[in-house]
Amino acid sequence: MAKVKTKFVCLECGYESVKWLGKCPDCSGYSTFTEERIFEEKNASKKILDFDVKKPVCLDHIEIVEADRVKTGMEELDRVLGDGFVKGSLVLIGGEPGIGKSTLLLQVSELVAKKEVDVLYITGEESLSQIKMRADRLGVLSKQIHILPETNIEIIIETIKKDHPQFLIVDSIQTIYTDEITSVPGSVSQVREITNMFMNISKNMGITTVIIGHVTKEGNIAGPKILEHMVDTVLYFEGERLNTNRIIRTVKNRFGSTNEIGVFEMGAKGLIEIAEPSKLLIESKKEASGSVIGCALEGTRPLLLEIQALVTKTNLPMPRRTAIGIDYNRLSLLVAIIEKHLNVYLGAYDVYVNVVGGFKVNDTSTDLAVVTAVLSSYYDQILPNDVAFVGEVGLLGEIRSIINFEARQKELKKMGFKYCFTANTDTVISGFDVKLIQNVRDLRKTIKG
C-alpha cells in the first residue's frame, strides 16, 4: 500500500511545510502547525461549477453600475456593511462560539425575506427543530426562508443550482466539507476549498452569500486568514459572554469604509439595535475615584466610554498591570509616562484598567482618559460627572490633538457633558466648553483641585 503523504499547515495563515515547525516563518505564530493529508489536486470547484468562459472587456467600455444592495433595515448592521448587503457579494462574519452569529443571521433572514428575497439557510451545526425553536422565539416567520441541514458541499451546490436562492447563509464554514479532500472539516484545505466554491457560485449566480466562521481564541478565523483575502467583506462580532453588549466591526469591506461599528444588545428576543451606544456605555457611571469619561472615534461615529482604573499597593515583586478593553502595551506605556512626567512612582502599585461594557478600544484618543483615571484612583480624587478627557498622550507627556473634534463635542453635549479637557484648539460649539491642556503634568492640579 502506498504510504500516506502528509504536509504541515499553519492554522493561522495557511503556510505549508513538509516538516513540523515550532514557529511559522510567515505569520510568526507559535505551535500553529497541524498535520494534514496531501490529496490529489482535482480542483473540485471547477469540476462542479461548469460555467461559460467569459470574455475580457475593454476598460473603456465598462459602464459603472451602482452596486445593487439589499438593506436589512437594521441600521446598525447596514452601516457596517456600507449601506446594506451588496447583491452577489461574499460576506464573512466571524466571532467566538456562542456570541450570537446564528441568532443575528436568522434575524437578518427574516428582514431580507420581507423584501421578497428568497433565503436559503444552510446549517451544519443545528437540527431543523433547533432552528425552528429559535426562529419561533425570535419571531422569524417568513415562508421565503428555507433551511437546509447539510454539510456536504456537493449536495449543497446541487440544491443551490436547483432552488436559485437570492440570499445564502452558511452556518458555519468549519462544518462544511467536500468529498474531493480527505482532510477533516474545518481544516485549512477544506475551508479554503469550500470558500472558493461558495465564492464561485455566489459570483456566477449573483447570490448574496454570508459565511459564518468561528474564531479561535487568538482572534483569527479558524481556518483562517486565507478566508479574509477571498471574501468581499469581513465583519467581526465582539463582546463578552457575561455581558449583553455586542459589537459588529468591519475589518475589510470592498464596498464601504472599514472601522465602522454596529452596536447591539442580546436580549430574550435576539439582538436589539442600540442607536445611542454612548448612553448605554456611560449610563451606569458613578461618582467615584478612578472613573473617567473618554471619547473614542469608531469609523465616523464618536463613542463615549467610561474608563475605570484601580491603583492599589502591591506586595508582589512584579507589580500587576491589567488592561481590559485597551491594549496592554499601551497601558504600560501610559504608566511609564505618568512615572516620568508626574513623578508618581507606580512600581509599588498594581494598576488595573477596564473599559466598561466589554468594549475594546483601539483609538489613542482615549489615552488622556486612561491617564486621568489612573491618577484619579492613585490620589483617590473624584472627578465631576459632567467632564470628559479627550486626547492622545505622547512619550514626552504632551497631549496631542485628535481628529473629528467637532463630532466628539456634539456627542458629549448631547449626552449632557458641559466641558472637556483637550489639546484641540478647533472651534468650540455653542453650549459647550473646552479646557486646554498641554501636558500630563497639568493633570495634577486638575485632579487635586
- Is residue 175 near Mg ion by the rule CB under 5 A? no
The residue (of 76 and 367) whose beta carbon lies closer to ligand TYD is: 76
Burial of 193 (0-12, 13-18, 19+ CB in 10 A): buried
Residues ≥6 apart with Cβ < 8 Å to 286: none
Closer to Mg ion by CB, 102 or 250: give it.
102
Minimum distance from CB of 398 to ligand TYD (Å)?
43
Cell of 81: 456593511
Question: CA-CA distances (angstroms) from residue 139 to 76, 101, 113, 119, 399?
Answer: 19, 17, 13, 16, 50
Nearer to ligand TYD, 214 or 301 (CB): 214
C-alpha cell at 321: 498591570
Binding positions for Mg ion, 89-128, rule CB under 5 A? 102
What whole-number distance in Å separates Cα of residue 237 and Cα of residue 248?
Answer: 5
The minimum distance between CB 237 and ligand TYD, in angstroms, equals: 7
The closest of 110, 159, 115 to 139, measured between CA atoms, is: 110
For 215-257, strand residue ranges (E) read: 233-238, 245-253
Q: What is the smallest separation between the CB atom of 104 and ligand TYD, expressed in angstroms?
A: 7
The distance of Cα 109 from the centroid of its chain, to the nearest Å, equals: 21
Q: What distance in Å separates the CA atoms of residue 409 and residue 430, rounded to the nearest whole number? A: 10
For ligand TYD, give the closer residue by CB, 269 or 320: 269
97 makes contact, choosing from ligand TYD, Mg ion, none, with CB < 5 to 8 Å by partner type, with: ligand TYD
Residue whose CB is less far from ligand TYD, 98 or 206: 98
Measured from the CB atom, the residue of 96 and 306 that comes closer to Mg ion is 96
Binding site for ligand TYD (CB under 6 A): 95, 97-103, 134, 137-138, 266, 268-270
Minimum CB–partner distance for residue 178 and Mg ion (Å): 21
Secondary structure string (H, E, C) spanning 259-279: CCEEEEEEECCEEEECCCHHH
The listed partner (ligand TYD, Mg ion, none) that binds 98, CB under 5 to 8 Å by sort, is ligand TYD
Residue 79 interacting entry, from ligand TYD, Mg ion, none, C-beta within 5 to 8 Å by type: none
The entry of Mg ion, ligand TYD, none near residue 72 (CB within 5 to 8 angstroms by kind) is none
Sign of the four-CA dihedral 16, 17, 23, 27: negative
User: Residue 441 touches which of ligand TYD, Mg ion, none (CB < 5 to 8 A by kind)?
Assistant: none
Which of ligand TYD, Mg ion, none interacts with 165 (beta carbon under 5 to 8 A by kind)? Answer: none
Q: Which is nearer to Mg ion, 131 or 181 (CB)?
A: 131
Residue 261 beta carbon to ligand TYD: minimum distance, rounded to whole angstroms:
18
Contact in structure between 121 and 102 (CB atoms under 8 Å): no
For residues 420 and 290, give the distance between their C-alpha atoms in angstroms, rounded to a whole number: 17
Least spacing, CB of residue 66 vs Mg ion, in Å: 33
Given ligand TYD, Mg ion, none, residue 364, with its beta carbon under 5 to 8 Å by kind, binds: none
Minimum gap (Å) between residue 280 Cβ and ligand TYD: 17
Contact in structure between 176 and 218 (CB atoms under 8 Å)? no
Question: How many Å apart are CA 315 and CA 313, to the nearest integer?
Answer: 7
Identify the CA nearest to 303 among candidates 334, 331, 275, 333: 275
At 253 the three-state DSSP class reads strand
Q: Which does 62 bind (CB under 5 to 8 A by kind): ligand TYD, Mg ion, none?
A: none
Nearer to Mg ion, 95 or 262 (CB): 95
Q: State the nearest-atom distance from the C-beta of 226 to ligand TYD, in Å.
A: 21
Output the smallest distance, CB 85 to ligand TYD, in A. 19
Q: Which does 137 bind (CB under 5 to 8 A by kind): ligand TYD, Mg ion, none?
A: ligand TYD
Residues that bind Mg ion (CB under 5 A): 102
